[in-house]
Structure 1
Amino acid sequence: MHSANKPVRRTPRQYRSHLTVEAVLAAVPLVLKRHGAGAMTTNRIAEVAGVSIGSLYQYFPDKQAVFSALHERHVADTRSILERHAAAYKSSSFSAFAVALVEDLLDLHSVDAELHQLIAAATKVGPEHFRAGLQATFAEAIARCGARETDRVLFVLPNLVEGLVHGATMSPLSARDAKGEAVKATLAYLTAHPELG
């Protein structure tokens, strides 16, 4: 149920409508790179997308709706990585599983890191859902490796990984160096828990 004050976003149903929505969403990082966050207006987004402002407003009542759609896409991409790693983890060590997961999450977040920061600030959505997803993924993997007494690990590891992944978007390090340091930190923590294998 939508509040009376919140504009409702129209769902695209035809192929041409999907193309318009995709063009609008793809324009946001281009506006950010070319003109900076201060120039992020619906008019500028429409101009860069090559669509009329009326077409943009058919699917996005305001700039906030554009950011929300980009955030939803990011959440879906993150969920896909978590689910893929959880499903694939069978015979490798828990450390190898954790490192591969951290690397993929860092790769996702390092693409257009400035855009990620802008969307996070605009949507004001905290990392709670991400941490919960990490906790569920790690819990499933830990259960498969048969480790016990894992409450401490499930407290620290999701918080550690979330902090490293989101922190990397603001790091002065290169994406490669940030990934290297995040992997080292994850492995350093896991060495204190040899029971995980």
Structure 2
Amino acid sequence: MTHSANISARRTPRQYRSRQTVEAVLAAVPLILKRHGAGAMTTNRIAEVAGVSIGSLYQYFPDKRSVFSALHERHVVDVRSLLERHVASYGSAPFSAFVVDLVEELVDLHCVDMELHRLISVAINEGPEHFRAALHAAFAECIIRCGARDMDRILFVLPNLVEGLVHGVTLSPLTSRQAKGEAVKATLAYLAVHPELSR
């Protein structure tokens, strides 16, 4: 997860019509994927499906990769908002319940437009380091609140485990429901060796 939004567009859309153009371009990408597949993804096709001229597209996106970067940034914002919301609402519930709820929501988020997630990951070559770091920070804050010991050991495993499971969903042949169930089982299996997190 990087801050690629500042480099993903030539101009920042300020007027309503400009914002509409950008939204139409971004919305065109999943439509093309569903109708024609990743091989048909060109800037000309994106502009055509978006209903804008290729010149209008290039005003905001210098190339196809910058369109994908903007979509990735939008996903980053969604993930951060989800993490912040969960941390803010974490009260007296067991830490394990917090983690399971979080894993389920993260899996749900990544099950929407899985092909789009795969395309963007390959196109912009974005690693999972920032996602793991955000998970690390969220888990650390909540572990401190529940007073668990061995925090360093837990934080060595848990963010990597959850990140791998959540991003693995986009490559899995399982249904979203099955993938969610397996991700939750794997997470609970790890948490079971730290009973202090279930209190």
TM-score by length of 1: 0.95
Whole-angstrom CA distance in 1 between matches of 2:20 and 2:107: 29
2:176 equivalent in structure 1: 175
Residue by residue over 1:154-189, the C-alpha shift from the partner in whole angstroms, topping out at 9 and shown as x without a partner, is 010000000000001110000010000000111111
Residue 24 of structure 1 aligns with which residue? 25
Identity, in percent, stands at 77
- 2:113 counterpart residue number: 112
Tell me how far apart the structure 1 counterparts of residues 16 and 9 of structure 2 sit (CA, whole Å): 21
Q: What 5-or-longer segments of structure 2 have no aligned partner?
A: 1-6
Counterpart for residue 153 of structure 1: 154
Counterpart contact for 2:22–2:60, Cα < 8 Å: yes
Task: Specify the alignment match of 1:3 in structure 2.
Answer: none
Deviation of residue 148 (structure 1)?
1.8
Report if aligned partners of 1:9, 1:65 keep a CA contact under 8 Å in 2.
no
Counterparts of 2:41 and 2:113, CA distance in 1: 15
Q: Counterpart of 2:4?
A: none
Matched residue SS, 1:12: coil
Give the structure 1 partner of residue 125 of structure 2.
Answer: 124
Q: What is the letter of the counterpart of residue 18 of structure 1?
A: R
Aligned-residue offset at 1:7? 8.1
Counterpart secondary structure, 1:169? helix
Deviations 1:111-131 (A, max 9, x none): 000100100110111000000
Query: CA–CA distance in 2 between the matches of 1:9 and 1:193?
Result: 50
1:49-64 mapped onto 2 (5 Å cutoff): 49-64=50-65
The answer to which structure, 1 or 2, has the higher relative contact order (CA under 8 A, 6+ apart) is 2
SS in 2 for 1:51: coil
Map 1:42-121 → 2, pairs under 5 A? 42-121=43-122
* Unmatched runs of 5 consecutive residues or more in structure 1: 1-5
Letter paired with 2:45: R
Counterpart of 1:35, as a letter, is H
Deviations 1:7-64 (A, max 9, x none): 8521000011111100100000000111110110000001111111111111101101
Structure 2 distance, partners of 1:38, 1:15, is 32
Structure 1 counterpart SS, 2:171: coil
Partner residue of 1:33?
34
Q: Which runs of 4+ in 1 moved over 3 A?
A: none
Q: Tell me which residue corresponds to 1:185.
A: 186
Structure 1 residue 141 displacement after superposition: 0.5
Once the 2 structures are TM-superposed, how far is the Cα of residue 91 of structure 1 from its aligned partner?
1.4
Whether contact under 8 Å (2:132, 2:159) holds in the other structure is yes
Give the CA deviation at 1:71: 0.7
Q: Name 1:15's counterpart in structure 2.
A: 16
